[in-house]
Amino acid sequence: MLFVATLIDIDYFRLRLCFARMDISKIWLLLVLAFFHMRGNRIFIQDWIAHHTYQKTNEIDSYYLRVANEINDSLSTLWFEEQETNELIHTDALKTLSIYLTCYLEDVIAKTGIFAAFRTIHTELYNQLLPFHADNDLTDYYAEDINSEDVAVLTWLFFSERNPHLFIDPRGRLIQLVTDLAYAILEEHYEVAPENEKLKLEYVLDEGANYFEVRNFIEKLVATNYLTAGEYNTNLNHLMQVAEIGRYQHDQNQLQQMIYRVRDNHFNNYRLHLYALKASEFVAAVIGKEHRLHDIVKTLGNRMNSFFEFVKTDELYVHVKHIGTKTAFKIFKDSIQQFVEPTETLSFYMEIVPWKDAWNLSGIMTVVNAEEINFDLPEQYEMTYRIEALNGKDKSLKKTEKQLKDMGKLFQSEHKAAVAFMEGKEVKEFATDFFKKYQQKYPSKEESPLPESNLDLTEDAQVTVFFNPKTGLEVFGGIAEFFPLKNNKFVEKDDQSEVPYARYFLNLLVEDFFPSELPKYYVNLFKAEVDKQFFFPLNDAVLDFFLRFYKRGTYFLGPFPLLK
């Protein structure tokens, strides 16, 4: 009985008095419930090892498991009056967070370089060590040690990645309390915690690695380290479900092809919340610039998806020419399974990635007819820019940027802002008139049809038209009230109520539907008002960090020309 009383942390004498008033069946029920409650709140070795690359555990893993449980026990005492905050700290979330922060301790001691890479990238982008902390405020900060500021940033990343529809104040009570409780335990163990040499070896890339070894290393690191694994694997699993992989269970060859196809697309296309990086870019920061394969790793996710014309083959390569730019490419022949040299001129749609001094097929390669070749797609504009950049040129990019800049100046001169307001029935005519005015003011030697609108708007909808400097005209409903401007006919001019500028900014920031340029424009348009209401003043570095985090899907989008 004493043993059970100790387990459930109840004073023995109170427990004995309580038991004296109950029959034996109720006593056993209480003990069973207490046992399962404690068991449900414990972190087990299989939970810990799930966040690692290996399965066989040792005494070092057992040590860090104890640390994770100490953090979990401490964090489990948290309670907030706000229901929304309490919902964030449910049992499973706190268990995972405890493992996550313990992995940070393990990372720093083993010098695996995960958090160091995060800090290196932040420094390169913003000339500051950490988000939300100015360097001159880090008076007791040592990059080679654990730091409470690191724990605060990690805690914000943890909750924000798992709740992207919410904005969590990085200096708020939730982050502060978690940091204080967790860091106290991490600091207690820092001087005595063992170095996990096994983990460190798992995250070392052989400088003589071949293409598949490099590719597998990148996937292994990004899918198992505490900083990126959660979101990377969640999104990959989502894509597997969307692709309905289960349909191919009866055909193992087709199943493996589909799994590889989904993984390959995810590897090349997915951008992390961390700085909107691709997996290969983050892993390059982990291995460091001194590694011989650093540049190769960093660019391995830069896949080209475009149309090519077959030229010839030799012993090592398949030679092709990009149809749009006439640029020659060499594809390693051994990356194309069962390649048969064509006996006639053929065009292909190919997905290729850079590897050393040539390219590897990474995805599909299929014959296309002339009518299937279309360079007017947004994706193909990006491919053209990138291929021209390989040749030290930027003609197409500069042309598009100039067109959008001229359009933006015209829009601004007409409306005194980058936004205009109208009813749904007016949008089509508005867009047509705008493009005609542009063509008159900036005549081109080439004839170009006006862009077609496929918008399905109700006639009386209150519409906001935004000129996006990367993609041109964009139309949104439901946000007209965000903009108390003179040209906004939907806002009462005599309304004296306070406008919640900061809340409107956050709506534009966290909702996927809105492009990265819209909250950026909004906060600059109402800079003083947002800063006054926001948790803290938004400097350019913090704003850009937020835009990359919340708008990773559109941050690098464009520019796309609207008229040829």
Average pLDDT (351-356) is 96
**Average pLDDT rounded to a whole number, residues 183-205:** 96
Q: Can you give the pLDDT at residue 497?
A: 83
Percent of the chain with pLDDT over 70: 90
pLDDT digits (tens, 9 = 90+) for 427-468: 999 999 999 999 999 987 666 666 666 677 888 999 999 999
- C-alpha distances (whole Å) from 327 to each of 86, 168, 301, 321, 400 are 57, 47, 20, 5, 20
The confidence score (pLDDT) of residue 250 equals 80
User: Around 259, how many Cα atoms within 13 Å sit in the side-chain half-sphere?
Assistant: 9
Mean pLDDT, range 132-160, rounded to an integer: 96
pLDDT computed for residue 130 by the predictor: 97
Question: DSSP characters for 1-21?
Answer: -HHHHHHTT--HHHHHHHHHT
Quick one: DSSP state of residue 196? -
Do residues 431 and 453 touch, judged by C-beta distance below 8 A?
yes
Name the residue among 315, 311, 320, 378 with its Cα closest to residue 349: 320
Instruction: Give the 3-state secondary structure of residue 231.
Output: helix
Q: Which residue has the tokens 């051994």?
A: 334
With 80 as the cut, is the pLDDT of residue 15 above it? no
Strand order, beta sheet including 472-477: 419-423, 462-468, 472-477
Q: CA 223, CA 232: separation in Å to the nearest integer?
A: 6
Does the pLDDT at position 402 exceed 80? Answer: yes
Residue 495 has pLDDT above 50, yes or no: yes
- Would you state the pLDDT for residue 370? 92
Residue 413 has pLDDT above 60, yes or no: yes
As a whole number, mean pLDDT of residues 221-240 equals 94
CB 143 within 8 A of CB 120: no
Q: 27-37 pLDDT, tens per residue?
A: 555 454 444 44
The C-alpha atoms of residue 21 and residue 34 are separated, in whole angstroms, by 18
13 has a pLDDT exceeding 80 = no
Q: Tell whether omega for the bond before 559 is within 30 degrees of 0, i.e. cis.
A: yes
Contact residues for 100 (Cβ-Cβ < 8 A; gap 6+):
51, 154, 158, 226
Predicted confidence at residue 248, as pLDDT, reads: 79
Do the bridges between strand 347-355 and strand 462-468 make them parallel or antiparallel, or are there none, so unpaired? Answer: unpaired
Highest mean pLDDT range out of 117-121, 132-136, 261-265? 117-121
- State residue 10's pLDDT score: 33
Contact 161, 88 (CB under 8 A): no
pLDDT value at 243 more than 90: no
Are 106 and 187 in contact, with CB atoms under 8 Å apart? Answer: no
52 φ/ψ sector (left φ>0, alpha ψ -120 to 50, else beta):
beta
Mean pLDDT on 92-121: 98
Q: Residue 363: left if φ>0, alpha if ψ -120 to 50, beta else—which one?
A: left
Question: Which single residue is written with the structure tokens 């980058």?
Answer: 418
| Residues found in the chain | 564
Q: At 272, is the pLDDT very low, low, confident or very high (cuts 50, 70, 90)?
A: very high
Query: If pLDDT is split at 50, 70 and 90, which confidence band does 308 have?
Result: very high
**DSSP β-ladder status, 328-332 and 317-322:** antiparallel
Q: Which residue has 């880090």 as its token pair?
A: 138
Count the helices and strands in the chain (H runs, E runs): 23, 8
The mean per-residue pLDDT over the stretch 166-195 comes to 97
Q: Rounded distance, CA 538 to CA 524, Å? A: 10
State mean pLDDT over 14-36: 49
CB-based contacts of 47, cutoff 8 Å, min separation 6: 95, 99
pLDDT for 364 beyond 70:
yes
Asked whether 352 and 364 are in contact (CB, 8 A), the reply is: no
Pairwise CA distance, residues 435 & 537, whole Å: 38
Cα torsion through 80, 81, 87, 90, rounded to 10: 40
Q: What is the dihedral of CA 487, 489, 495, 498, to 10 degrees?
A: -60
Q: What is the pTM of this model?
A: 0.89
Nearest-angstrom CA–CA distance, 286 and 114: 6
Q: Report the pLDDT averaged over residues 255-282.
A: 93
Mean pLDDT computed over 109-134: 97
Mean pLDDT of 484-491: 93
Calculate mean pLDDT across residues 394-406. 93
Q: In this predicted model, what pLDDT tens digit does every residue of 330-344 receive, in sequence order?
A: 999 999 988 888 988
**Residue 130 β-bridge partners:** 133
Residue 537 has pLDDT above 80, yes or no: yes
Q: Are 176 and 132 in contact (CB under 8 A)?
A: no
Q: What is the largest CA-CA distance in the chain?
A: 97
Mean pLDDT of all residues in 345-366? 94
Residue 546 has pLDDT above 80, yes or no: yes
Q: What confidence score (pLDDT) does residue 40 get?
A: 62
Across the chain, what does the average pLDDT equal?
Answer: 90
Instruction: Please give the Cα distance from 26 to 63 (Å, whole number).
Output: 37
What secondary structure, in 3-state letters, does 408-454 show?
A: HHHHHHHHCCCEEEEEHHHHHHHHHHHHHHHHHHCCCCCCCCCCCCC
For the beta carbon of residue 321, count every other beta carbon within 10 angstroms. Answer: 15
pLDDT of residue 35: 46
Q: Is the pLDDT of residue 22 over 70?
A: no
Q: How is residue 158 written in tokens? A: 């943890």
